[in-house]
Amino acid sequence: AHPLTHFCQINVLKLVVPCAYNEPIWAVMARSYDLGAFNASLFATEGIASVGLVLAPLSALGCGLIIALGNRLSAGLPSQFV
């Protein structure tokens, strides 16, 4: 029954999207579910908190595609530059 964050933990989106929480999502989860200092990055805790369980695989796919695109674009660059 927690509100979605809509990726407000990303600084650029924080300017456009209001945040539901005043603290990091791992702290909210630690207090609510007795998990301790659980921090699993954008693909787990923040990904699910941002869009919910149903759309979390799509957000992970989108992040993976962005990483793959960056990897492909850097393929021809000199290793010292990369």
Q: pLDDT (tens digit, 9 = 90+) per residue, 40-57?
A: 665 566 777 788 878 888
Residue, of 39 and 1, whose pLDDT is higher: 1
Report which of 20, 8, 13, 6 is spatially closest to residue 56, judged by C-alpha positions.
6
Query: Quick one: pLDDT at residue 41?
Result: 61
| Pair of tokens at residue 8 | 């407000």
Cα dihedral sign, 19-21-23-29: negative
| pLDDT, the chain, mean | 79
Mean pLDDT within 5-12: 80
